[in-house]
Structure 1
């Protein structure tokens, strides 16, 4: 379990994490989302003792990370896939880590196999691709068979097979009763992986809820197709209803359910060729939640300097 209470981190005048509190229970994959500069990586770094909180606390199984006598057996973390000695082989890197905790070489071979390092484990790390570095980082995180896993952007640089593998692995680890904390910018991937979401915006929590709850709170959209699109638009154009013309015969309607749309079409003699409800996506909800919290915007807009 990971518990944060009034966790705060300041760098000079910049507040990176602003008094956040949460509790991550075992048996779930908790997704950690937020725009660049929102404080996700800083929060994860404080969880494993790489940054010291300005105020508040973050504990793992009731204790700060530094107080665990064998941290690799309690927490596995992937925060920087490049934090390795480039001159070592992948196998040597894992053996050095294992030796610090009395972990057997047999376990090293197990995680090499589990993470698909294979022949790459014999090669020097300086020749690794970003994706292979990610696999090595995950192998190191799994060495001590820990109950808590913290992954910061674990699918970065992975090919589609690797992305699917990380998704499956995270869900399997949670199914075994472990606490799995994963940050990502890939909404489609997070929607298939996470059970619960915490969303940060400028260092503060703006959502902390099961993913199903966040998705169900979105506005219902309906795809409607007809050859009488102008007549249908006039019939549906009332207060609270949003219409988006997707092409010459297709409308996307927000603010009316399919039954109401069908009834209005019938009343006005409009023939419909399609009437399909569309579920709100995680990307839709994320953009809605974080729209006012984005510090770094594209298109030449002013940017705030942030750490």
Structure 2
């Protein structure tokens, strides 16, 4: 379990983390989302003692990270997969970590095979790709068979097979009763992995809810195709209904369910060729939540420079 209570972190005049509180439960994958600079990595670094809170606290199983006698057996973290000695082999790196906690050589070999590093474990880390470094970081996190796992952008640099493997690993670890905390910018991947979401914006929590609750909170949109778009738009017009013209024969309707649209089309004698509900995506909800909290926003500089 990871618990944050009124957690603050300031760097000079900047509030990187601004009074956040949450509690992560075992048996769930909790996704940690937010724009760049929102405080996600800083929060994770404070959880494992790499940064010290300005005030408040963040604990793992009721203790600060430094108070755990065998921290690798309590929490496994991947915060910077490249933080390794480039001259060591992957296997020697894992053996050094294992020696600090009395972890057996058989366990080292087990995590090497589990993470797919068998063919490169004897090679020097300086020759590893970004994806191999990610797998090595995950192997190190799993060494102590910990009850808590923290992954910051774990699929960065992985190929599609690797991305699917990390997703399955996170789900499996949670199913075994572990607390799994994953930060990512990949909305499509997070929607398939997380049970619960915490969303930060400018250092503050702007959402803390089950993922399905967030998806269900969105407005229902329906794609409608007809040759009589003007007649249909007139029949659907109401105060709480929004209608967008996608093309000459396609409308996107927000605020009415498909059955109501079909009924009104029948009354107006409008022939429909398509009536398709559009599911709210995590990306849609994320953009709505964080729209006012983006610190680094793209502008039109590229377009101006290109002219």
Q: When the two structures are superposed, what TM-score results if normalisation uses the length of structure 2?
A: 0.97
- Give CA-to-partner distance per residue, 1:174-210, whole Å, 9 cap, x none: 0000000000000000000000000000000000000
Q: Distance in 1 between matches of 2:81 and 2:198?
A: 23
Gaps of 5+ in 1: 302-307
Q: Distance in 1 between matches of 2:62 and 2:225?
A: 56
Are positions 1:46 and 2:46 aligned together? yes
CA RMSD of aligned residues (A): 0.9
Instruction: Name whichever of 158-167 and 274-283 sits farther off.
Output: 274-283
- Aligned to 2:53, the other structure's residue is in SS state coil
Are positions 1:64 and 2:64 aligned together? yes
Q: Distance in 1 between matches of 2:248 and 2:109?
A: 59
- Give the match for residue 284 of structure 1: 284
Are positions 1:188 and 2:188 aligned together? yes
Are positions 1:261 and 2:261 aligned together? yes
- Give the match for residue 118 of structure 1: 118
- Give the match for residue 305 of structure 2: none
- Give CA-to-partner distance per residue, 1:56-106, whole Å, 9 cap, x none: 000000000000000000000000011000000000000000000000111
- Give the match for residue 33 of structure 1: 33
Q: Distance in 2 between matches of 1:194 and 1:165?
A: 14
Deviation at 1:238, TM superposition (A): 2.4
- Give the match for residue 274 of structure 1: 274
Q: Distance in 2 between matches of 1:234 and 1:117?
A: 62
- Aligned to 1:199, the other structure's residue is in SS state strand
- Give CA-to-partner distance per residue, 1:107-152, whole Å, 9 cap, x none: 0000000000111111111111111100000000000000000000
Deviation at 1:300, TM superposition (A): 4.6
- Aligned to 1:58, the other structure's residue is in SS state strand
Deviation at 1:279, TM superposition (A): 1.6
Deviation at 1:160, TM superposition (A): 0.3
Deviation at 1:51, TM superposition (A): 0.1
Deviation at 1:234, TM superposition (A): 2.2
Are positions 1:95 and 2:101 aligned together? no
- Aligned to 1:120, the other structure's residue is in SS state coil
Q: Distance in 2 between matches of 1:92 and 1:48?
A: 23
Q: When the two structures are superposed, what TM-score results if normalisation uses the length of structure 1?
A: 0.97
**Number of aligned residues:** 301
Question: Which consecutive aligned stretches of 4+ in structure 1 deviate over 4 angstroms post-superposition?
Answer: none
Q: Distance in 2 between matches of 1:300 and 1:117?
A: 43
Q: Distance in 1 between matches of 2:155 and 2:246?
A: 33
Instruction: Name whichever of 118-127 and 179-188 sits farther off.
Output: 118-127
